[in-house]
Copies of this chain bind each other. A is one copy, B any other.
Amino acid sequence: MLWTVDPASPTPLFEQLATQVRRSIVDRTLVRGEKLPSAKELAASLEINLHTVLRAYQTLRDEGLIELRRGRGAVVIADDPGLVNLHLMADELLAEAGRLGLAHEHVVELLEGRRA
């Protein structure tokens, strides 16, 4: 899998792992339907705790990238995690704005206002 984590890094281990899995999905190293290593295996491989791997997996599940099933493991469900997902999120954002009666420009302004 060529995934590694750095205990000395200020970024949490579970976040490091989640980021690497995301990258693997984005660059097609992992594709839809593919199975991830079991948390136990991966934990042993990375020399981190089982729970840390599970937390990374659960984070990815909350993001809609993988599916977790007891006894079955973790499976990639993201098809195109890139622009397709971004457009989906934009859809939802605009739909929500519509429910609130906000005009399209208001949403654009809202995002412009978030330019850090």
Contact = CB atoms under 8 A, between A and B. Distances in A.
A96 B82 CA distance: 8
Interface stretch (A6-14, A66-74, A86-94): A86-94
Q: How many copies does the complex hold?
A: 2
Contacts of A93: 86, 89-90, 93, 111
Contacts of A111: 90, 93-94, 104, 107-108, 111
A116 B89 contact: no
A82 B112 CA distance: 19
Nearest 10 CB-CB pairs, A to B?
A: A89-B93, A82-B100, A104-B115, A108-B111, A86-B96, A93-B93, A108-B112, A89-B96, A90-B110, A89-B92
